[in-house]
Amino acid sequence: MPLQYIPPPGAPLRGGEPFTGAEGATVLDFWRYAFPDLKTNTTRGLLAEFLVHRAVGAQQRNQEWESFDVLTADGLRIEVKSSAYLQAWGQREVTRIVFDRLRTRTWNPQTGDAAEPSFNADVYVFAVHTAISHEEYDPLDVGQWQFYVVPGPVIEAKGTKSLALNSVRALAGDPVPYSGLAARIRAVDPRARSTVPRRGSLGP
């Protein structure tokens, strides 16, 4: 059956748009309500995606149902995984970092879920917020992030649903700061390489 309800492209919101019937409420008020703390798991994940999106100059945000997070202008599919040592709740010790959901079922509005989970990105970016005290934690300081970048075929060859940080380090080599993220992503783009690079040869 063909799709009956296809949404039109949405216009970007600027924050000042008012809600009809809710006097004085604007989109900015909603944003302040929904995202007051950039440390929460969901929001931190979106923040990591936002940073990667800006680093590679992506033109628009992916739909939520896409099987990867960022699409560059030339079609590079990037999956972003994020974690941090500190959370938005009390902890006895810092978090042991593990990245999961490396393979997922794709979804299509016409056909639904794919029968089997798959690896769906050309490049995986593992973003780690490095603060280990709440006094130093600054979610607006991109210098507190480290980024590990791994070609998609390397992740697929591992064949696992999740990877601990030590395993990511073994695959990616040294992390890069935000200033070097775009160059590292391009350096490991498997579409431009005949072979998968070894550790230590992933570019700047």
Distance (Å, whole) CA 18 – CA 39: 28
Q: How confident is residue 2, by pLDDT bands cut at 50, 70 and 90? A: confident
Helix, strand, or coil (residue 204): coil
CB distance 128 to 84 below 8 Å: yes
Task: Give the rounded distance of the alpha carbon of 156 from its chain centre.
Answer: 17
Given a cut of 90, whether residue 1 has pLDDT beyond it is: no
Q: What is the pLDDT of residues 25-61, one digit of tens each?
A: 999 999 999 999 999 999 999 999 999 999 999 988 8
Q: How many domains does the chain have?
A: 1
Distance (Å, whole) CA 12 – CA 144: 29
Distance (Å, whole) CA 160 – CA 140: 32
Distance (Å, whole) CA 155 – CA 140: 30
Q: Considering the domain boundaries, does residue 144 fall inside one? A: yes
Q: Considering the domain boundaries, does residue 101 fall inside one? A: yes
Q: Considering the domain boundaries, does residue 68 fall inside one? A: yes
Q: Considering the domain boundaries, does residue 200 fall inside one? A: no
Which carries the bigger pLDDT value, residue 203 or residue 193? 193
Q: Considering the domain boundaries, does residue 5 fall inside one? A: no
Q: Tell me what the pLDDT averaged over the chain comes to.
A: 92
Q: Considering the domain boundaries, does residue 3 fall inside one? A: no
Given a cut of 50, whether residue 169 has pLDDT beyond it is: yes
Q: What is the pLDDT of residues 57-97, one digit of tens each?
A: 998 888 888 999 999 999 999 999 999 999 999 999 999 99
**Residue ranges making up the domain that contains 76:** 40-192
Given a cut of 80, whether residue 202 has pLDDT beyond it is: no
Distance (Å, whole) CA 192 – CA 188: 8
Query: In this predicted structure, what is the pLDDT of residue 181?
Result: 98
CB distance 38 to 45 below 8 Å: no
Compute and round to an integer the Cα radius of gyration of the chain. Answer: 19
Q: How confident is residue 193, by pLDDT bands cut at 50, 70 and 90? A: low
Query: In this predicted structure, what is the pLDDT of residue 63?
Result: 84
Q: Considering the domain boundaries, does residue 24 fall inside one? A: no
Q: Which helix (H) or strand (E) holds 48?
A: helix 41-55
Q: Considering the domain boundaries, does residue 197 fall inside one? A: no
Query: In this predicted structure, what is the pLDDT of residue 198?
Result: 42
